[in-house]
Structure 1
Amino acid sequence: MQKTLVQRLAAAGHDVKVANSRGPETIGHDVLSSGSRAVTAAEAGIDVDVLILSIPLNRIPETAASLARIAEDTVVIDTSNYYPMRDEKIVAIEDGQVESQWVVEQLGRPIAKAWNAIGSDSFARLNTPSGNADRIAIPVAADNDRDRSIAMALVEDTGFDAVDAGTLAQSWRQQPGAPAYCTDLTKAEMPHALESAEKERLPKRRDLAVAAIMERIGGGGKNPVTDELVRINRALFM
């Protein structure tokens, strides 16, 4: 996901800086092939209009100190999802707090939520030009119109239709287990998927999907391809 995101935004003409926790020398040339620049984590938030966090959700709190130093008008976009088997259990989220609102609490600043509801393989392969009737849609949520508008424009630049998913309080509708999550829907289909989500069912459906995918991988076969993942998600989430 991160590699594709960097390449698409740079190819669209944005001045993109890339950082990770290991240092700029560890960022591959293929990631930078569209003209982005490798920098340190400390440099990543300096003089930027948008900062995109594409890291496991349980590492979000580690970024709070660094984000406290970036400009107030910088738009922060979070792409993460909560998977307790990977992130360890986060009590507040287990008790029903919306993932994005938990992220806001950790960072102490507003965010937009985008690119979390599409699989990495779909994101890498299924981008299409604007106006394509079959173009896949990505939901975007934020608590203010400016952040949402900027995030939606960037989603469009990566080759997908952006759909206004409302405020962060409603962003549970694009969390794992929801009908809108990694089911590769079009812009016409996405609003119904968001509206039809049932919050109390999300954790069980998320965990069933993980179990089904792990069984597929553990059964001696190759990793599921996009079509298989989408079929699993549609069968369990919709």
Structure 2
Amino acid sequence: MKIGIIGTGYIGKTLTLKLGAAGHEVKVANSRGPDTIGVDILASGARAVSAAEAVKDVDVVILSIPLNRIPQIAPLIATVPAATVVIDTSNYYPSRDSRIEAIESGQVESLWVAEQLGRPIVKAWNAIGSDSLARRGTPAGTEGRIAIPVAADDDRARAVGMALVEDTGFDGFDAGTLAQSWRQQPGAPSYCTDLTCDELRTALATAEAARLPKRRDLAAAVLAERIDELRSTPEQAIRVNRVVFM
């Protein structure tokens, strides 16, 4: 497939490398221009381009940017044909994104993103940590393979998202519609806890919407205190998330 990726942070970089290695034709852009994209990000064959070029003549656009930048990129996404699948990987953290009243009042993050962009989206790769995405992918059929929830209102778009998740080394799990995607938001049992398909099914089903913000903020505070430890032992973040979210 032809894929355009906007964002070269930890998640965007890994998606660029993995999807390129899987045989997809990948273009990648960031907010600073193609000359600032390192050769390490392009190691599996992706091309560094401008953001405007990244969304041209592609089957899929992947947004891997902070949630608070979604409105800024909306005019660019408005130029993308309706048939192009747009996948969003973002999450809401008020300490980073500033307070968004609609989300604070209970609007599902993915629905807010779709509203800002003015088009349907797929939610994927938001519920896995950057270290796990980079290091813990395994071939299909591997026992204990980690699953990633994929939500969308359109069945075809969701299937595309799930197939691309498979190409990055994880089981794509059908998480239903965007209205249900709060179950994979920060603070939910499925969020960055590295579960198998069977475990993920239970985690999604047992999520409690009212408890997500408090759990999200508690885990963020704990992880911030242990930032030096996490650099040497990234698996500690998974353990913290499991204790707090599950």
Distance (whole Å) between structure 2 residues aligned to residue 191 and residue 162 of structure 1: 12
Q: Tell me the equivalent position of 2:210.
A: 200
Give the AA of the match of 1:213: L
Give the AA of the match of 1:228: Q
Q: Is the 8 A contact 2:230 2:236 kept in 1?
A: no
CA RMSD of aligned residues (A): 1.0
Give 1:133 shift. Answer: 1.4
Any stretches of 5+ residues in structure 1 without a counterpart? none
Query: SS in structure 2 opposite 1:188?
Result: helix
Give the AA of the match of 1:167: T
Give the AA of the match of 1:196: T
Q: Tell me the equivalent position of 1:10.
A: 20
* 2:220 paired with 1:210: yes
Distance (whole Å) between structure 2 residues aligned to residue 229 and residue 77 of structure 1: 25
Aligned residue pairs total 236
Give 1:223 shift. Answer: 3.2
Q: Which runs of 4+ in 1 moved over 2 A?
A: 220-226
CA offset digits 1:145-171 (Å, max 9, x no partner): 011000000000000001000000000
Give me the identity figure in percent: 68
Q: Give the TM-score normalised by structure 2.
A: 0.94
Q: Is the 8 A contact 1:60 1:107 kept in 2?
A: yes
Q: Is the 8 A contact 1:163 1:187 kept in 2?
A: yes
Distance (whole Å) between structure 2 residues aligned to residue 37 and residue 221 of structure 1: 35
Q: Tell me the equivalent position of 1:174.
A: 184
Distance (whole Å) between structure 1 residues aligned to residue 230 and residue 76 of structure 2: 39
In structure 1, which of residues 165, 187, 192 is the aligned counterpart of residue 175 of structure 2? 165
Q: Tell me the equivalent position of 1:112.
A: 122
Query: SS in structure 1 opposite 2:172?
Result: strand
Give 1:54 shift. Answer: 0.1
Any stretches of 5+ residues in structure 2 without a counterpart? 1-10
Q: Tell me the equivalent position of 2:36.
A: 26
Alpha carbons of structure 1 residues 208 and 32: separation in structure 2 relative to 1, 3 Å: same
CA offset digits 1:69-123 (Å, max 9, x no partner): 1111000000000000000010000000000000011000000000000000011
Q: Is the 8 A contact 2:230 2:237 kept in 1?
A: no
Q: Give the TM-score normalised by structure 1.
A: 0.97
Q: Tell me the equivalent position of 1:58.
A: 68
Distance (whole Å) between structure 2 residues aligned to residue 221 and residue 234 of structure 1: 17
